[in-house]
Amino acid sequence: MATPASVKRLHHQIALVTGGSSGIGAGVAEALAAEGATVFVNYSHSPDGAAEVVKKIEAAGGKAFAVHADVSKEDEVLAMFDEIRRQCGTLHILINNSGIQDDSPFLDMSLEKWQHVINVNLTGQFLCAREAAREFVRRGPQPEISRATGKIICMSSVHEVIPWAGHVNYATSKGGIMQLMKSMAQELAPQRIRVNSIGPGAIATPINLTARDTPEEEKSLLTLIPYGRIGEPADIGKVAVWLASDESDYVTGTTLFADGGMTLYPGFADNG
């Protein structure tokens, strides 16, 4: 039977968006809430940013809570999941979005910079995905709410496949997320847990402000985007809603690139 258009696609579902207090995470949190999900907006150091996103969601008629955790710290992640269970009983959707850049030429890259990025971008996604999967298995299927027992969506990047000089720690973390996502998808599919990634290209957020500082820098960035525009957080929000909804119920273990064609090797468009 077809779903009536008035039924929101994520009705009765509880979602957690890590790093939801800014940029892509904020856009995804708003998009999930607009489809009826109750959204936990995670922040590590920006309670005001998280409160702002919660306020925006509530003003639009949605439901949201701010929740603190540094995703690279196991005890804080465990406490965050306890808090979600305490407030709403369970979780249906994890958006593993928190991420940082801490760039350096390779020859000068300190162990500290390497570990900082790997700890947040890769270990943080592992810790949150493990706790989400444990919660999905503990709670079991709720087919009246969603065909899948749970959905995990990892925010990867075009840099899971495009190497990035000067950003070796970041590109390595995103390459790692690709195998983390696929291996989890393989292992968790029998429990009807779907795991996928989104691979954004250039999206206008605080993480890449310096790459868009001047008109010249923006023009240079656009040469990498065949579709001819820089993305917005809402572009990623729409993809996240689809991957979290039953519309994508047969999709697991894949990265959906939302990049205006950045992964199409635009340098080869005129015969290289």
264 lies in the site for ligand NAD, by CB under 6 A = no
Residues 205-234 within binding reach of ligand NAD (CB under 6 A): 205-208
Establish whether 265 is a catalytic residue: no
Give the integer Cα–Cα distance in Å for 31 and 36: 9
Instruction: Give the number of residues in contact with ligand NAD, rule: CB under 6 A.
Output: 28
Q: Which of residues 118-157 bind ligand NAD (CB under 6 A)?
A: 120, 124, 155, 157
Q: Which residues on adjacent β-strands are paired with residue 197? A: 154, 255
Single residue of 200, 225, 257, 260 touching ligand NAD by CB under 6 A: 200
| Structure tokens belonging to residue 175 | 């390459």
Closest CA to 71 of 97, 101, 39, 110: 97
Q: Who contacts 143 (Cβ-Cβ below 8 Å, separation ≥6)? A: none
Shortest distance (Å) from residue 73 CB to ligand NAD: 8
Closest CA to 93 of 149, 173, 156, 45: 149
Stretch that binds ligand NAD, among 1-9, 17-25, 135-143, 219-227 (CB under 6 A): 17-25
Position 15 contacts ligand NAD (CB under 6 A): no
Work out the end-to-end distance of the chain between its first and last CA atoms, rounded to an integer number of angstroms: 50
Q: Rule CB under 6 A: choose which of 16, 202, 243, 244 binds ligand NAD.
A: 202
Q: Are 151 and 94 in contact (CB under 8 A)?
A: yes
Q: Is 177 in the site for ligand NAD (CB under 6 A)?
A: no
The C-alpha R_g of the chain, in whole angstroms, comes to: 18
**70-89 binders of ligand NAD (CB under 6 A):** 70-72
Phi, psi of 225 (to 5 degrees): -120, 95
User: In the complex with ligand NAD, which residue's Cβ is closer, 25 or 237?
Assistant: 25
* Shortest distance (Å) from residue 270 CB to ligand NAD: 25
Residue 25 in the binding site for ligand NAD (CB under 6 A): yes
Alpha helix segments (H runs only) across the chain: 23-34, 47-59, 74-88, 111-118, 124-139, 168-188, 215-222, 233-244
* Among 14, 15, 17, 18, contact with ligand NAD (rule: CB under 6 A): 18
Query: Tokens 């954004």 label which residue?
Result: 200
* CB of 120 or CB of 195, closer to ligand NAD: 120
By the 10 Å C-beta count (0-12 exposed, 13-18 middle, 19+ buried), 6 is classed as exposed
Distance of CA 168 to the CA centre of its chain: 20
| Residue closer to ligand NAD, measured from CB, 46 or 90 | 46
| Cβ-based nearer residue to ligand NAD, 76 or 246 | 76
State the catalytic residues. 170
Residues near ligand NAD (CB under 6 A) = 18-19, 21-25, 43-44, 46, 70-72, 97-100, 120, 124, 155, 157, 200, 202-203, 205-208
